[in-house]
Structure 1
Amino acid sequence: MAAGRSQTEERSSAPEGWGQMSESESGVYAIVRSGGRQHKVAVGDIVEIDRVADEVGSSISLQPLMLVDGDDITTDVDGLGKASVTAEVLGEVKGPKIRILKFKNKTGYKKRQGHRQRYTQVKVTGIEG
């Protein structure tokens, strides 16, 4: 018997917290499409989406692909046509630096280039459906 452990205490094989629903999974959340990517959002979430040309503080609408309200899941086009996800633009941020290097052997050709993708930070203010 291990020190500090009683005989009646059972040992769990999974780490603590696994298999439990998070706050956003147990309530209302939506899968939205923005800029060719899909994001799982709930009210109050701050998400980085591909850059949109809207002013800071303005409200934008995101296209829902799936809406989950507890046990009720909506994926049909008619139900999603009535649903809407609104978000407030918080500002612009940059992603991590990506370094690109082209190299050709025996010619001395080297070309180095960098890139940082710009994203728009939005806060989800409402999910209606």
Structure 2
Amino acid sequence: MYAVIKTGGKQYKIQVGEKLKIEQLKVENGSELIIDQVLMVADGDKVSVGAPLVNGAKVSATVLGQGRHDKIRIFKMRRRKHYQRHQGHRQNYTEIEITGISA
């Protein structure tokens, strides 16, 4: 059984027991998280596709921790103009583990 959920402006295909790094949410570590924006649920040959969401479908997850991704380096340059700009960025994330899918 798997599902497609939407969180943080992105879509993820998930299964039970899978660990996932999503956009940062303001939740405590170890707490239970319910995601109700489920776009699709598939159980074998039975597939439910929402328009845009599947009615009554929920995904439960446990919050494992908060963190930051690796640094992304941004470098801009104009050749022969003596223009260089350096910038870095680290995105925050919340790590979750999927504990259940209910359709």
Aligned match of 2:17: 44
Pairwise CA RMSD of aligned residues?
1.9
Between Structure 1 and Structure 2, whose CA radius of gyration is higher?
1
Q: Secondary structure at the match of 2:54?
A: helix
Q: Secondary structure at the match of 2:59?
A: strand
> Is residue 74 of structure 2 the alignment partner of residue 112 of structure 1?
no
Q: Tell me the amino acid that sits aligned with residue 18 of structure 2.
A: D
Q: Which 4+ runs in 1 deviate beyond 3 A?
A: 76-79, 104-107
Aligned match of 1:93: 67
Gaps of 5+ in 2: none
Q: Tell me the amino acid that sits aligned with residue 11 of structure 2.
A: Q
Q: Secondary structure at the match of 1:81?
A: coil
User: Greater relative contact order (Cα 8 A, min sep 6): structure 1 or 2?
Assistant: 2
What does 1:1-129 align with in structure 2 at a 5 Å threshold? 28-62=1-35, 63-77=37-51, 80-129=54-103
Gaps of 5+ in 1: 1-27
**Partners of 2:68 and 2:75 in 1: how far apart?**
21
Question: Percent identity of the aligned residues?
Answer: 39
**Partners of 1:45 and 1:69 in 2: how far apart?**
16
Could you state the TM-score of these two structures normalised by the residue count of structure 2? 0.87
**Pair 34,73 (structure 1): closer, same or farther in 2 beyond 3 Å:** same
How many aligned positions are there? 102
**Pair 103,45 (structure 1): closer, same or farther in 2 beyond 3 Å:** same
